[in-house]
Amino acid sequence: MVGTGGPVDTFSVWDYVVFAGTILGAAGVGLFQAIRGRKESSSEEFLLGGRQMTAVPVAMSLTASFMSGITVIGTPAEAYSFGAAFWLFGFAYAIMSIITAEIFVPLFYRLGITSAYEYLEMRFSRPIRIIGTSMYIVQTALYTGLVIYAPALALNQITGLDLWGVLVATGAVCILYCTLGGLKAVIWTDVMQMVVMLAGFVAVIARGAVLQGGLSQVWKDAEEGGRLNAFDFDPDPRKRHTFWTIVFGGSIMWVSIYSINQSQVQRYISCKTLRHAKMSLYVNMVGLWVTVSLAMLSGLTMYSIYKKCDPLTNNDVTTSDQLLPYLVMDILADYPGIPGLFVAAAYSGTLSTVSSSINALVAVTMEDFIVPLWKNRTQRQVTWMNMGLSVFFGGLCIGMAGVASLMGSVLQAALSIFGMISGPLLGLYLLGMFFHTPNSIGSLSGMIIGLVLTLWVGIGAQLYPPTADMTLPLGVTTVGCNSTMSQNTTQAPWTSAVTMTTQPSVRPPLADSWYSLSYLYFSVLGAAVTIISGYLISMATGGCNQEKRHPDLFVKKTDLFYFSFSNTSKDKDKMFEGIHNKAFTELPPDILDKDKELTTKL
């Protein structure tokens, strides 16, 4: 009986057919783009789609790359365990979209960059660019390995799919269409995968609503279970999710991801006009709203079904990440192919994130390391190098998934480190974009100070995780289970799933203060410390030299809201093309010594 615990069915033949069809469909898109663009083999075509992409597919790709398999499985579990507070991220997505579209996009688009870290050399120095790129490569390779491994582990234990077979298949498919089709294949595959992900959520919500007697009953159960108490205005920065941590801290965190992360930047600078680039972020904002809403509704539906029999406390699953796959096999096993659709949805999130990461890693490696040193290159050599790097980074990500399988409780620590790095990097960019005084010495010193502080608090939080009065887990019960394997209904078992570690017996004085800082404030802390310390050290070391103060390297008033509601975009885009060309003809000689292809485009 649904919702009463116990073993659930595994995959049927039709589920395997649907799942395999989705994977093959993704590979087919890559092959189609490779055949379609076989005469367009330039590096810019491979890495940026020839800068001819339009807003809607880029927006869907941005959303799909955000929706990793971890998110597909984890966000409903968040709603089930902690309630609807996560829904407030809708405000953070809006703020992030406006800041990125109106401040970062015009600057990057005007400079015609391929790698987001080119700006760091233009504004500061080449060593800072290399440091920024190296940080990105390390964190992205590790994070991508985790993205491949974590959903595979959760789904393997529920569906019976072979863990390592799926890991290798996931990486192989991504390598295939990234290598053959480049960014166009990644974007158009993301579009298809986005549709599959949303369909998976809709299937769960629709079936759950039918079983519970309608969405109104789901909503009523969630309210009675305390899952709808989303607005907590407590200013305590140690509380995991409050209105302030999500709206303020979450906004800065997502700005640090969307505005300077190569995977995201590479998409919107591939648009054919600045208006399309900006519009892609606003359409993406709507896509994020829809996605997080469906994910949260899936979680509330899951709570409605399991309100009297928590599978985690009842030992039907071992981690909170397995809750949604368990629900799918519990309520949809009677509909052949539908569980396969859900698993395809989760793996579509994984595929989109992995393919985005591979393509971005190729771009930064080429532009920041290989192109500046390889002067006498032919276009054919560059094409083969792009394809070779795609294979290399795909294999590296599969290898990192293998490493992740050995990391155990360090998984959450690695994910936290990935988030912590983005805050200091954001502070470095803001120093360069808004202030004329910061120089290379001051800015790099500020970023190092910010990084040390965020690593300190993040690692401390991993070793001494916040207590339940800060994470605020909600209650569950097993009174309605047919076969109750554990009678412990007072424990909040998902607390360990959030922290991925157990509470030490002895806690140091900082454990309940500094180490309990909400993870959403890590980026705020890193960015603020980088900006303040970087500016002060720059002042003490003489400030920035004149050649690094070219006006086109800074945010301009004309950048703000210039294209958002314009009906004459073509004329204004032409004006920005002139600004772009002027920027490169007036920049200092050391900045002008770039790949000729970049300076002549747009």
Q: Give SS3 for 53.
A: strand
Count of all residues that appear for the chain in the document: 602
pLDDT score at 582: 41
As a whole number of angstroms, the distance between CA 601 and CA 43 comes to 12
pLDDT score at 532: 96
Q: Please compute Rg for the chain using Cα positions.
A: 24
Q: What are the residues whose beta carbons fall under 8 Å from the beta carbon of 24, sequence distance 6 or more?
A: none
**What percent of the chain is helix, strand and coil (3-state, nearest 5)?**
70, 0, 25
As a whole number of angstroms, the distance between CA 497 and CA 409 comes to 10
Is the pLDDT reported for residue 179 higher than 70? no
Q: Classify residue 194 by burial, with Cβ atoms within 10 Å: 0-12, 13-18, 19+.
A: buried
Q: What rounded mean pLDDT belongs to the chain?
A: 77
The predicted model scores a pTM of: 0.81
pLDDT in tens, 353-402: 777 788 788 878 888 888 787 777 777 777 788 778 888 888 887 777 77
Q: What are the residues whose beta carbons fall under 8 Å from the beta carbon of 483, sequence distance 6 or more?
A: 5, 6, 314
pLDDT in tens, 33-87: 666 655 555 445 544 544 557 777 777 777 776 666 777 788 898 899 888 898 9
**Is the Cβ–Cβ distance between 110 and 579 less than 8 Å?**
yes
Residue 361's closest CA among 262, 258, 256, 255? 262
Type of residue found at 518: S
**Is the Cβ–Cβ distance between 525 and 454 less than 8 Å?**
yes
- The domain locations on the chain are 13-405
- SS3 for 197-211 is HHHHHHHHHHHHHHH
CATH of domain 13-405: 1.20.1730.10
pLDDT score at 11: 79
Which of the given ranges, 48-57, 88-97, 457-466, has the highest pLDDT on average?
Answer: 88-97
pLDDT in tens, 327-342: 888 888 888 888 887 7
pLDDT band of residue 99 (cuts 50, 70, 90) is very high
Compute the average pLDDT of residues 20-28: 75
Compute the average pLDDT of residues 444-456: 93
Which of the given ranges, 22-31, 425-434, 586-595, has the highest pLDDT on average?
Answer: 425-434
Phi, psi of 168 (to 5 degrees): -65, -40
pLDDT band of residue 178 (cuts 50, 70, 90) is low
**Is the Cβ–Cβ distance between 463 and 504 less than 8 Å?**
yes
pLDDT score at 368: 83
Q: Which two tokens stand for residue 202?
A: 């809709």
